[in-house]
Amino acid sequence: MSTSMSMIKALNASLRKGMEDHPKTVVMGEDVGDLGGVFRVTDGLKKDFGVDRVIDTPLAESGIVGTAIGLALRGYRPVVEIQFDGFVYPAFDQIVSQLAKMPYRSSGNVRLPVIIRIPFAGGIGAVEHHSESPESYFIHTAGLKVVSPATPEDAYWMMQQSIADDDPIVFLEPKRRYHAKGEVNEDAAPLRLDQAHIARPGTDATLISYGPTVDQAMAAADAAADEGRNLEVIDLRSLSPVDWPVLEESVRRTGRGIVIHEASRTLGLGSEVSARLTEQCFYSLEAPIQRVTGYDVPYPASRHEDDFRPSVDRILDAVDATFEY
C-alpha cells in the first residue's frame, strides 16, 4: 500500500522499522532525543525506544563517531546524525582513519555497521557551514559506502537497507528535499542499495545526477521535451560504489552524457564519471561528457546560492553544447 509522505516522515518511519527489526540499532547525535533532531527526523523515537537506544550526545562530532565505532565493535548498529554537512569535519579522522579501515585492518574479521547521516547541500538559505557538499571526501575513501536518496520512497528503503548492511555507510540526505512529498510503498520490492535508477527513460542524451539535483535534472528533461529532445535521467542513488553498467548502457545508447551535481567542479564525482564513461564508451560518444556543477569557491551567502547551484538553464546549456559537436 502506498502512502504520501515527506522525506522526513519516510526517514523517521524507516528508522523506527529498522530499530524494531534490529534490536541492537541505536540512534545517537546532538539533540536527536528530546528535540527529535534539528530537522525532526528522529522525532518520537526516544519516547518509544528509550534513552538507551536514542542518545543525546555532547557537541563533539569526533566523540560521537568514535563512540559509534566502539559500540559497533561491541555488536551494536549505531545510526549517527551529524546536524549539518559542515559539522562533519571534526569527525573526519575517525571516519577515514578508523571507520573505513577497520574491516581491512582485521582481514574482514571485524565489521563496523555504522551509518553516518548527514543533511547536505544547499537551498535552504542557511548560514556558513550549513550548506556544503562533502561527498567527494568520502567517495575517495576506500572502505566506505556513500549513498543519497532523492525521493521519500528511496529514503525509506535505503535507510532500512543501510541499517541491515554490515559495512560503514555515509548516508547523505538532501535537506532541501526534506519536505517534498512522494508516494512510499512499504510493500514494494526495493532496488538494491547500490543500484542506479532510470528516473526518466529517453533516447537523445543522458542526464546523470543524484540527491538534491535529481529534481533539476527532471525539470530540465521536461523543458527539453518541449523543444523535441527526449532526455534520459539517471538517479545514481549510490555514489560509492557507482552502478557503472547502467550508466554505460545508457550513454552508449544516447551517445551523449551530462553529469550534474552541486559539489564543486574540480575532482567532484562528475570528474570520475566523465573519465570512466570516456574510457568505456569512447567509440559511442557523439560529444565529450559535460559537467554542470557548483563552482570552485566556498558555498556562498544565501542570497547568492541560486547562482551557485546548477539551474535548469545551465543544464539545458550543457545539453545544447553536446548537440553542437
Active site (catalytic) residues: 130
CA distance 223 to 192: 30
Say which amino acid occupies 227: E
Sign for the pseudo-dihedral over CA of 58, 60, 63, 67: positive
Neighbour count for residue 68 (Cβ, 10 Å): 30
Nearest partner of 259 among 234, 292, 211, 235, judged by Cα: 292
Neighbour count for residue 233 (Cβ, 10 Å): 24
Judge contact between 7 and 215, C-beta under 8 A: no
Say which amino acid occupies 15: L
3-state secondary structure of 283: helix
CA distance 73 to 77: 9
* Residue carrying the nine cell digits 575513501: 141
Distance set, CA 30 to CA 40, 81, 87, 215 (Å): 12, 7, 11, 30
